[in-house]
Structure 1
Amino acid sequence: MNSYRVPQLAKKYTDYDMIRQHTEIPSFPDSRARLLQVFVGRTDEKGHQELFALATSLVQLAMDTHDRIDTISGDRGEQEMRSRQLNVLAGDYLSSRFYQLLAHAGKIEMIGKLSGAVSEVNARKMTLYERMKKLLVSADEYLRETVQLRMQLFLSFTDMMRDEDKSLWNSLLMEFSTCETIAHEMNRMRDEQQMLHSYAFWHMYENSNDEERSHLRQMQIEPRIWSALVLKYSVSEVLLDKLRESTHRIQLLLQDEAELQGLQEIDAILEPYLSYVQPSHAAVRED
């Protein structure tokens, strides 16, 4: 199947009035899903690439939705409580759809692999969160671990890949997961609801003085202080540099694979990230 329509197919499971009214579904794992569809389309499982991309994306959305559930104690308003409950229910619902899709297609082995990957992700998250609670995480460690968490579900398909594709698949998955993570962190940096313990937080905490660290340790840092620190420590520039490096590595990988079937599709996955770092970039590849 040449066309990429996984996000549209996923809306059948995510576009419910109850969900949209009381909570928000996280960003779709578009780059990873699209990359998975390309590489599975080159295997003996060709014909199931769309199914695998959809099912894996639903699992990812379920986990990301559960991650939105905060653990802050204390009284809550009715709307806040309802939103929290809907995050739980929405995550559980999306997980159930993944099982249903793969079971209906007879892909029981893939259910086991993805379920195992979910357990691995949760274990890694717990380790990371424990270090975060103790303020022991560096900015680079946070970014590296977050990228690994984004990759884990999709790595479940590596054994399915053709031997000659495995190295490129793993490298591109890491780089596109890095691009997705950086784009997400750039948005978090500007969102008062998500800025704490974002990449920006760890970068500033790592480089700040004692007084600034004291502000950062507060669970509700004043927006004006946050904005001043973001500017002082050039967080946007740091993230853009990292994104630029990752897109450059992707371009080098693709140059080495000029005959790869699906190369044009991978170029399309890369294009949005190039627009971040090269606003005037023309979508033309030099052979």
Structure 2
Amino acid sequence: MPIQDEVVQIYHKIQKKVNHPYLNRYLPKPAVDIDKVLTLFLLFKQHGSYKNIEQYVMSVMIAQMGLDTHEKITKNEKLKGLELKQRQLTVLSGDFYSSLYYYILAEQKDIQMVKWISQAIQELNINKMHFFYAENDANIDYYFDHLRQIESHLIIKLAERLGINDWTDIIADFFFLKRLHLERDYLDHTREDTHTSYIYHIIQDTDIDKRKFIEQIENKMNQIRNKWSMDILPKKQILSKHLGYLIDHFTKESPSFTRTTLLKGRINYAD
């Protein structure tokens, strides 16, 4: 089966796995980031020793969804009625996803993977604490550095545990770029879901110039694009077919996120 078909199949199985009729009555369906599904799938493929890749991808993605869901919890203390119920259910749904990923891994009897993901979640939460409770003199680069780590931390830590360290830089930059696009949109438009914005949290109720912050975000986005459009790979470098597929996907999803070496066809994929 082609990689794309396998990934789409896993994507739909995740949606089905987290589907809950009662939650669906009150909450929007949880988003599944298919870019992360693909990345996880290719990492396990590259490692080559995991038989039930589908189950592992599902478990990590559902763990990520649990974390993402808890970030949607509002701090408004004046909620009543339906809004209060929605907040309570948001908390419970996040807990549901978090327990579900444990259950999937328990079926695989893979205690080591449970430990890896648990440690990664702990480190991710520490990064979030550093981000949201930074010292008053923290500069924009401090926030960007932590935001980059937060956005793909589970995947990066898994890649490191699997010994696929040469993938981590491009993965981290791609998902960081995706997050920066979202953050710019949050700040550039009036959005009802600003509570899911990291940057919004640190500039609300401050005298920070929002337009200036948007400019800084765009500058960082350009830095990432320039980094990956430079001809920095050796002309005869050979990429694994899985990394090559991933880079091709990233390039299609974000056309400005590419290497000129790939566009010039000077890199071969290993069989």
Q: TM-score, normalised by structure 2?
A: 0.77
Deviates more, 1:235-244 or 1:108-117: 235-244
Identity of aligned residues (%): 18
Query: Secondary structure at the residue paired with 1:56?
Result: helix
Pick from 186, 206, 211 the counterpart of residue 230 of structure 1.
Answer: 211
- 1:261 partnered with 2:262: no
- 1:119 partnered with 2:122: yes
Instruction: Give the Cα separation in 2 of the matches to 1:196 and 1:122.
Output: 16
Stretches (4+) displaced over 6 A: none
- Per-residue displacement from partner, 1:131-174 (whole Å, max 9, x unpaired)? 2xx65443322222112122322233235535xxx332222222
Instruction: Give the Cα separation in 2 of the matches to 1:269 and 1:61.
Output: 21
Pick from 171, 177, 193 the counterpart of residue 175 of structure 2.
Answer: 177
Structure 1: 5+ residue stretches without partners? 206-214
Compute the RMSD of aligned alpha carbons: 3.4
Partner of 2:144: 143
Instruction: Give the Cα separation in 2 of the matches to 1:147 and 1:115.
Output: 20
- 1:54 partnered with 2:75: no
Q: CA deviation at 1:109?
A: 1.1
Query: Secondary structure at the residue paired with 1:42?
Result: helix
Partner of 1:34: 38
Q: Which amino acid aligns with 1:121?
A: L
Pick from 70, 75, 79 the counterpart of residue 76 of structure 1.
Answer: 79
Query: Secondary structure at the residue paired with 1:24?
Result: coil
Cα separation, partners in 2 of 1:38 and 1:110, compared to 1, 3 Å: same
- Per-residue displacement from partner, 1:223-252 (whole Å, max 9, x unpaired)? xxx8xx438964674364245236536x85
Q: Which amino acid aligns with 1:37?
A: F
Instruction: Give the Cα separation in 2 of the matches to 1:26 and 1:235.
Output: 30
Structure 2: 5+ residue stretches without partners? 267-271
Pick from 128, 138, 143 the counterpart of residue 131 of structure 2.
Answer: 128
Higher relative contact order (CA 8 A, sep 6+): 1
Q: CA deviation at 1:82?
A: 1.2
Cα separation, partners in 2 of 1:157 and 1:199, compared to 1, 3 Å: same
Count how many residue pairs are aligned between Structure 1 and Structure 2.
Answer: 255
Partner of 1:156: 157
Q: Which amino acid aligns with 2:38?
A: R
Q: TM-score, normalised by structure 1?
A: 0.73
Deviates more, 1:85-94 or 1:49-58: 49-58
Instruction: Give the Cα separation in 1 of the matches to 2:232 and 2:41.
Output: 21
Report if the CA contact (8 A) 1:32-1:176 is conserved.
no
Partner of 2:265: 286
Pick from 187, 206, 209 the counterpart of residue 217 of structure 1.
Answer: 206
